[in-house]
Structure 1
């Protein structure tokens, strides 16, 4: 997949695609439905996605708590896995936020990307103060000779599949239910940084990843997995502040079973599979060690015997 970070002055071979529109946070089953409709409408064209970085909500409300399900690298990885060949990852800034709906369609989609066909969800809104909706897009696209697919929101027995619903499930401690809507386990991607190295003194060395702009799931212990050098590795992780040792910044602290390599400085994508218990403060480091032993056994049991 090729990634472009501007809509202006694109090379000719980067224009003329079928383009799905949206934030694609989480790249969930609803997003998959939009991409399927796009490809079904124009299977002869390259599949592309137009999205924004940062997320518009981050731009307009920077004081809000972190809420992203996927940051740019993980989102790109997930879209590529769904067959997207071009990603137009447009910087969302003051200038873009002031484009009218007409300017967005005319200048970005038509003149910039040369989009031959676009697809979006039925609730897609765009342009300054969200002045454009799908009815406006349909009329303008027809005028400019672009095809349009408006995809109804995907629903299950409990309602629409959406990024906000997935966020609530993760914050309530249901990663397996979130995975059912995502179509894959929720992941937190980041670079492994040095911690306080207490874990290795009790036989549980950990890989520490700052949550940064990721949504913070319910604080507690999870059964997790990652891929290291092409092999899947399972483990147990704590997400939160680590109150027993006086932590102040939320982070993911993962111990991977039967792995002894050096992970410092490496980027990992850690998948959350099951919530085991809430985070708690222990009276002593020894009590914490005993609980980690129990958590590790529980996580190993969740994943089953090694092949």
Structure 2
């Protein structure tokens, strides 16, 4: 785990010059939040086209997410903030990524200018791959059909990838967010092609877990995080070290109904993690958040949760 990038993966930003070894690339274009199985199909189409052409395959993506630019108060919970997204794009086998700042200037670019000035003029593409619902340019005027017609005029190939489906529904970032919000960790992982994970720094809490015999690493998730309140079996990475544990996410109704915190009890671990970045992978959703009538029943349940999480993580759960 961890969001490090291999040395062979090149990140270009905005007007960065394209190095010779990446000349005339095939671009997989999209927001790629989550880099889920549907996104992987677009990436695979770009890689196949690039292999046929003997050129590099890159992702072209946007930061921030366009919805965060247009409606910052209702922007979606990011499944993969930029570092995690780039790491997943590298893991998918691409040679690099182009990251364009999504700002007022880019939002105002007409669809034809996006093709002529950016895809052709700046990057000299030999091909592009997009999803069936990809739109671009001012007022989202550019469509897959427009891109195919423009590609024929400008001399580059276009692959439009049909939706990948899971139990009849098209795999999408929104569908994955909905699954996580409902506690459907396994369904989210199936659509992603891997367990959902996030990275956050350990912050100081009220030390209540230590008093209860379950010292926790407290993580504050980004505002708008759409995870179901409740108890999870988790795997965490501190540097390159994997640590199994059980976590509670919520407002602690037994005590204070405070701000949401993700509290991780790491099995067989002792040490100071304050200020450290932990990457946490959700292995299973065990139960919803509950309010207990006192400390004793809470502690008893925490022992049961820990035992269940250990069983899940060892593969021995029923």
TM-score (norm 1): 0.92
Matched, 1:115 2:125: yes
Shift in CA distance, 15/199, structure 1 to aligned 2, threshold 3 Å: farther
Q: 1:84 to 1:276 in 2, by over 3 A?
A: same
Q: 2:40 aligns with which of 29, 32, 38?
A: 32
1:268 maps to what in 2?
A: 278
Kindly report which structure 2 residues correspond to 1:172-251, keeping only aligned pairs within 5 A, or say none.
Answer: 172-212=182-222, 215-251=225-261
- 1:19 equivalent to 2:19? Answer no
Which shifted more, 46-55 or 276-285? 276-285
Alpha-carbon contact 1:186-1:272 (below 8 Å) kept = yes
Give the secondary structure class of the aligned counterpart of 2:97.
strand
Deviation, 1:9, is: 4.1
Counterpart in the other structure of 1:131: 141
Structure 2 partner of 1:99: 109
Tell me how far 1:25 sits from its aligned partner.
1.1
Distance 1:167 1:96, change over 3 A: same
Indicate if the aligned counterparts of 1:22 and 1:51 stay in contact, CA closer than 8 A: yes
In the other structure, the counterpart of 2:73 is 63
Measured against aligned partners, the alpha-carbon deviations of 1:149-182 in whole angstroms (never above 9, x if no partner) come to 1111112332211111111111111101111111
- Tell me if the contact between 1:66 and 1:212 (Cα under 8 Å) persists in the aligned partners: no
**C-alpha spacing 1:16/1:251, structure 2 compared with 1 (3 Å):** farther
* Structure 2 residues not aligned, in runs of 5+: 1-8
Gaps of 5+ in 1: none
User: Alpha carbon RMSD of aligned pairs, Å?
Assistant: 2.0
Q: CA deviation at 1:66?
A: 4.4
How many residues are matched? Answer: 305
Give the TM-score normalised by structure 2: 0.89
| Distance (Å, rounded) in 1 between the aligned partners of 2:35 and 2:178 | 16
Deviation at 1:51, TM superposition (A): 0.9
